[in-house]
Amino acid sequence: MADYPSSTEVRRPAVLLLAVSAGKIDLQPVFWGLEEEGIPLEQHEATRGEAVVLAKEAAHMSPLNVGIGVSGVENKIVLHHRDLPADQPLFVIDLRSAPVKELRRLGMNAARLVKAEPLLLKDDVVPDLPPSPRAKQAAPVSDELVERIVQSVLAEMAKARGTLWKETASV
């Protein structure tokens, strides 16, 4: 059996992380993510199990209802919530390709799940720094663009003439 505490024990409020064969995996970024958001995380070792199953189990045991499962065998880390169907975890990250940033984000999301704050999603683009107001760059101007502008100005002028002419004619 796994050597993590049974669910009847009194536990302090924390997100629970269950890891199997995760000795070589650096889980620090996950901890940092939770720390920055101010939610504690407890790690326990499991002897076997798939990451998704572990995550679900951790969620059930966590007093905060949020669990993380890590498997060094599958190279996966999974974020789960107690109320979600077992086969529908919130996030699954492949550890072989995930940058540190993504692990930290998973930690932050675990904390935000507890705090009911908006999650950080992968496709959220961080807006680029707008140019400094003192260093405004002129947009590159192609000859084609100049040509188009000149054409449209000429067209407008012709139109204006036309209406003017019409007005005078009708007077």
Partner 1 sequence: MPSMPYIAGVDVGNNTTEVAIAEIDGRGNPRFLSSSTVRTVGIKGTLRNAMGIIEALDQALKPVGLERSQLDLVLLNEATPVIGDIAMETITETVITESAMIGHNPSTPGGQGLGQGRTIALDQLRSSTNHQPYIVIVPGQVEFKDAAEQINAARSHGLNVAGAIVQKDDAVLIDNRLQQPIPIVDEVRYIDRIPLGMPAALEVAQPGRTIERLCNPYDIATLFHLDSEETKHVVPIARALMGTRSAVVIKTPKGDIEERRIPAGKITLIGHKQKAEVPVDEGADAIMEKLATICPLEEIRAEAGTNVGGMFEQVRKVMADLTDQPVSAIRVQDIIAVDTFKPQQVLGALAGEFAMGNAVGLAAMVHTHKLPMQRLARKLEEEIGVKTVVGGVEAEMAIRGALTTPGTKAPLATLDLGGGSTDASIINEAGEMRSVHLAGAGDMVTLLIDTELGLNDKELAEQIKTHPLAKVETLFHMRHEDGSVQFFDKPLDPRLFGRVVVLGDRGPIPLDIKHLLAQIVAVRQGAKKKVFVRNALRALERVAPAGNIRLIHFVVLVGGSGLDFEIPKMISDALFEYGVVTGRANVRGSEGPRNAVATGLVLAHAQQRRGSS
Site for partner 1 in 134-153 (CB under 8 A): none
Comparing C-alpha atoms, which of 79, 94, 75 is closest to residue 21? 75
Q: Which is nearer to partner 1, 35 or 45 (CB)?
A: 35
Location of structure tokens 């070589």: 24
Q: Which is nearer to partner 1, 115 or 161 (CB)?
A: 115
Determine the size of the site formed for partner 1 (CB under 8 A). 24
Q: What ranges make up the beta strands (E) of 56-123?
A: 66-71, 76-81, 91-94
Q: CB of 1: closest distance to partner 1 in angstroms?
A: 30
Q: Which is nearer to partner 1, 88 or 152 (CB)?
A: 88
Distance CA 3, CA 42 (A): 14
Output DSSP code: residue 96.
T
Are the beta carbons of 68 and 106 closer than 8 angstroms? yes
Q: CB of 62: closest distance to partner 1 in angstroms?
A: 15
Q: Give the residues across from 71 on adjacent strands.
A: 20, 76
Site for partner 1 in 72-131 (CB under 8 A): 81, 83-85, 88, 90, 112-113, 115-119, 121, 127, 129
CA 102 and chain centroid, separation: 8
Of 6, 132, 137, 142, which lies in the binding site for partner 1, with binding defined by CB under 8 A?
132
Q: CB of 42: closest distance to partner 1 in angstroms?
A: 17
Q: Which residues form the interface with partner 1 (CB under 8 A)?
A: 32, 35-38, 81, 83-85, 88, 90, 112-113, 115-119, 121, 127, 129, 132-133, 167
